[in-house]
Structures are given as C-alpha cells and as structure tokens.
C-alpha cells in the first residue's frame, strides 16, 4: 500500500485514541433503580424471560471482547498493519471493555444471582475460541468491514434495549452512553475501510467476501447461541424493524464504498451467494450473471437499493445527446420494472446479511 495512505490511517488512528471514554463507576452505581422484567414487559412484546435473555446476550457477548481483539491483532500482524493494531490496542479494546458492566448491573437489578452471572461468563470464555470461527477474512480491510457491520448491528440492538427504560432513568442514560460508543466504532471502522479502498480499489473483493461471510460473534458462543437465534424475531417485539437495521448497515457500507456501482456489485454478489430472491421468481445466480454483463448494471442495482431504503442515490446526469437520451430512457424503463419486482425482504431471509446475524454453527 502507498506509504501516503499508511500515514493517513496512522494519523486517523492517532486522532481517535484521545476519544477513549469508558463507563465510570458513578454511572454504574446509578443503575440500581429496582426495575423488574415485569415492568419491561409492559412496554415490550417480549416475555419477562425473553427480556432477561436479551440482556444475558448483551452481557456475555461483551464479556468476550479480548477474544475479538485477538482476531484483529492477528490480522494486523499477518499483514503488517501497525495502524490497525494501534487502533485496537489503544482505543477499541479498552473502550469495549467498559461495556459489559452496565448489562451485568441490569441483570443484578432484575434479581439474577451474581454467581449465576459469573459462572455463565466463565463458561462462555472457556468454551469459546472466536478466532477459529471467524470466516470474514483476516486482511485489514476484511476486518474493518466486519467491525463496521458488527458495531452497526450492536448499536441498533442497544438502542432498542435502552428504550425499555424510561428516558429519565439512569439506566437509560448509561445504555445510551454505551450505544454512543458503538455508533462511534461503526464510523471509525467505516472510515478505515474507506481509506484502504481509496488506496487500493482492487481490495473490493475483500469487502464483498467479509460481507458475505459475516456472522455475529454470539453465533459462536455456546452459552448464548440459542438466544442469538431468536433475535431477528424479537426485533419487532422490541419496537424495532429489520428493514431499518438493513437500511443502517447499507448506509455505512455505501459510505465506505462511496460508489453506487461498487454497492450494486457487492449486493448482487451477496444476494447470489445467499440465493435469496432479489427479483421474484429469478434465481440470484442467474440475475447476478446477467447484471455483470450489462453496462451500468451494478450501478442500477445500487441506485434501486438506495432509493428503496430511503437512502438518496446521486442523480445521473441528464442526457446530452441523442444516444445518451436513448440510454437514459432504457435505463429508466428497466429501473421502473425492477423496482416493481424488487423484493428487499429477499435480503432479510435465511442465509443473508441480516439473518446471518442469527445463524448458529
């Protein structure tokens, strides 16, 4: 990679490190407000047991930060990416290490026994070796892509959990702080991905590979695999929306790619790999092959997806001559036809970007 870009990423990382801000003891001590799962059920479609399990998932997943950190550091070492190691060691890991305690306090406030919590965390640590399950790739750009998607999903999950509690409560405020850090991490990983792609456009396949093979860490933690498998069906009960989560993920992916054609290629190859239906009745491997041979095909897909999710695509230049006018009209006809048949839900079914967050081993 061009030394200029390595310097650019090193500078960016060095600018992030002073932003480190862990949850403090005053925050943690303020959380014991005698909330009960039965109170949460009144403002949620979950059962009391599901409410507790949702926070068990958050706690156990956050308790294995060191294992995820090892994965990033391994990739940084393999590819000589000192900037990535510096970011993980100097910012991301210590920042993340403060995220488990708030969820532990919520469970304690719910009446879950301290020993039960401790035993479950220890079991998770001893039965999980995350790095051997990581299939999204160890190259720096694959890891930053993975981090961007993972943090985006976690940010949304904590947003929904935060809203279980009154806005005026300390518990709501502390979860908001944790959520804010996840949002910051999402942007940081997105920026680092964008810098690498800008430096070397040939790295796009690594981003696509990471996206296709993405799976949330909790899928590989035996203690909470069964809970993770339920999260997609829980989202609407938590006043969430799977399509909104998809919108946020694609917003950040598009931000890292900064190009609707690249986005279209990523989503087309992703859909082909998952064999969900992008267009009704058309197998995605057939559609993918067709789009790849059409001039501007990937860009058209990118435009459609961005528009369907309410993410504004840059408008194409108006035609300047007769030939461009014909092409513009043909493209508009194809676009209208595709939008009518586009099944965004196809991206949300089994073996796809969102559902992959719930896949077990």
In whole angstroms, what separates CA 23 from the centre of its chain? Answer: 22
342 - beta bridge partners?
279
pLDDT at 3: 76
Instruction: Tell whether the model's pLDDT for residue 133 goes beyond 90.
Output: yes
More confident residue, 322 or 159: 159
pLDDT at 320: 59
Q: How far apart are the first and last CA of the chain?
A: 35
Instruction: Tell whether the model's pLDDT for residue 100 goes beyond 90.
Output: yes
Mean pLDDT over residues 239-248, rounded?
91
Instruction: Tell whether the model's pLDDT for residue 184 goes beyond 80.
Output: yes
- Percentage of residues in the chain having pLDDT higher than 70: 80
Instruction: Tell whether the model's pLDDT for residue 129 goes beyond 60.
Output: yes
Most confident of 40-49, 83-92, 306-315, 328-337: 83-92
282 - beta bridge partners?
279
pLDDT at 291: 57
pLDDT at 207: 97
Note the pLDDT tens digit of each residue in 109-125: 999 999 999 999 999 99
> Within 10 A of 103 (CB to CB), how many other CB atoms are there?
26
pLDDT at 282: 45
> What's the sign of the alpha-carbon dihedral 77, 81, 83, 87?
negative
Question: How confident is residue 145, by pLDDT bands cut at 50, 70 and 90?
Answer: very high
Note the pLDDT tens digit of each residue in 203-232: 999 999 999 999 999 999 999 999 999 998
> What's the sign of the alpha-carbon dihedral 218, 222, 224, 226?
positive
pTM of the model: 0.87
Find out whether 219 and 360 touch, Cβ atoms under 8 Å.
yes
Instruction: Tell whether the model's pLDDT for residue 15 goes beyond 60.
Output: yes
How many whole angstroms separate alpha carbon 178 and alpha carbon 58? 11
For the ranges 49-58, 77-86, 243-252, the lowest mean pLDDT is seen at 243-252
How many whole angstroms separate alpha carbon 338 and alpha carbon 342? 6
Mean pLDDT over residues 149-178, rounded?
96
Note the pLDDT tens digit of each residue in 250-296: 999 999 999 999 998 898 888 777 655 444 444 445 455 545 555 66
Angle at 340 between CA 302 and CA 278, to 5 degrees: 50
The three-state (H, E, C) secondary structure of the chain, written as one string: CCHHHHHHHHHHHHHHHHHCCCCCHHHHHCCCCCCCHHHHHCCCCCCHHHHHHHHHHHHHHHCCHHHHHHHHHHHHHHCCCHHHHHHHHHHHHHHHCCCHHHHHHHHHHCCCCHHHHHHHHHHHHHHCCHHHHCCCCCCHHHHHHHHHHHHHHHHHHHHHHHCCCCCCCHHHHHHHHHHHHHHHHHHHHHHHHHHHHHHCHHHHHHHHHHHHCCCCHHHHCHHHHHHHCCHHHHHHHHCCCHHHHHHHHHHHHHHHHCCHHHHHHHHHHHHHHHCCCCECCECHHHHHHHHHCCCCHHHHHHHHHHHHCCCCCCCCCCCCCHHHHHHHHHHHHHHHHHHHHECHHHHHCCCCCCHHHHCCC
Place of tokens 């435009």: 303
pLDDT at 186: 98
pLDDT at 160: 97
pLDDT, mean over the chain: 85
Instruction: Tell whether the model's pLDDT for residue 352 goes beyond 50.
Output: no
pLDDT at 332: 61
Find out whether 184 and 155 touch, Cβ atoms under 8 Å.
no
Note the pLDDT tens digit of each residue in 38-70: 988 887 899 999 999 999 999 999 999 999 999
Question: How confident is residue 315, by pLDDT bands cut at 50, 70 and 90?
Answer: low
How many whole angstroms separate alpha carbon 41 and alpha carbon 13? 42
How many whole angstroms separate alpha carbon 229 and alpha carbon 168? 32
Mean pLDDT over residues 64-77, rounded?
97
């Amino acid at each position: 990679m061009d030394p200029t870009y390595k310097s650019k990423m090193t500078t960016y990382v060095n600018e992030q490190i002073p932003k480190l801000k862990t949850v403090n003891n005053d925050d943690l001590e303020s959380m014991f407000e005698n909330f009960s799962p039965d109170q949460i059920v009144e403002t949620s479609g979950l059962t009391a047991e599901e409410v507790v399990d949702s926070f068990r998932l958050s706690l156990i997943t956050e308790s294995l930060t060191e294992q995820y950190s090892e994965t990033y550091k391994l990739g940084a070492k393999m590819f000589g990416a000192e900037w990535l190691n510096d970011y993980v060691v100097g910012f991301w890991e210590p920042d993340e290490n403060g995220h488990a305690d708030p969820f532990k306090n919520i469970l304690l406030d719910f009446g879950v026994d301290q020993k039960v919590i401790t035993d479950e965390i220890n079991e998770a640590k001893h039965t999980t070796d995350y790095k051997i399950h990581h299939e999204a790739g160890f190259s720096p750009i694959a890891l930053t892509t993975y981090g961007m998607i993972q943090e985006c999903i976690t940010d949304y999950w904590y947003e929904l959990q935060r809203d279980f509690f009154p806005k005026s409560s300390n518990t709501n405020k502390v979860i908001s702080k944790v959520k804010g850090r996840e949002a910051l991490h999402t942007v940081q990983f997105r920026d680092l991905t964008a810098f690498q792609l800008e430096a070397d456009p040939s790295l796009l396949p690594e981003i696509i590979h990471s996206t296709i093979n993405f799976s949330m860490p909790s899928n590989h933690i035996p203690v909470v695999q069964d809970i993770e498998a339920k999260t997609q069906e829980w989202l609407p009960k938590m006043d969430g929306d799977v399509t909104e989560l998809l919108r946020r993920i694609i917003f950040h992916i598009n931000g890292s790619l900064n190009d609707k054609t690249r986005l279209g290629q990523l989503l087309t190859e992703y859909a082909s790999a998952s064999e969900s239906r992008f267009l009704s009745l058309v197998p995605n491997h057939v559609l993918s092959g067709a789009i790849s041979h059409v001039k501007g095909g990937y860009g058209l897909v990118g435009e459609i997806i961005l528009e369907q999710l309410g993410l504004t695509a840059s408008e194409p230049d108006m035609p300047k001559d007769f030939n461009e006018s014909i092409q513009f009209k043909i493209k508009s006809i194809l676009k209208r036809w595709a939008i009518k048949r586009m099944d965004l839900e196809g991206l949300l079914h089994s073996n796809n970007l969102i559902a992959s967050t719930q896949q077990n081993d």
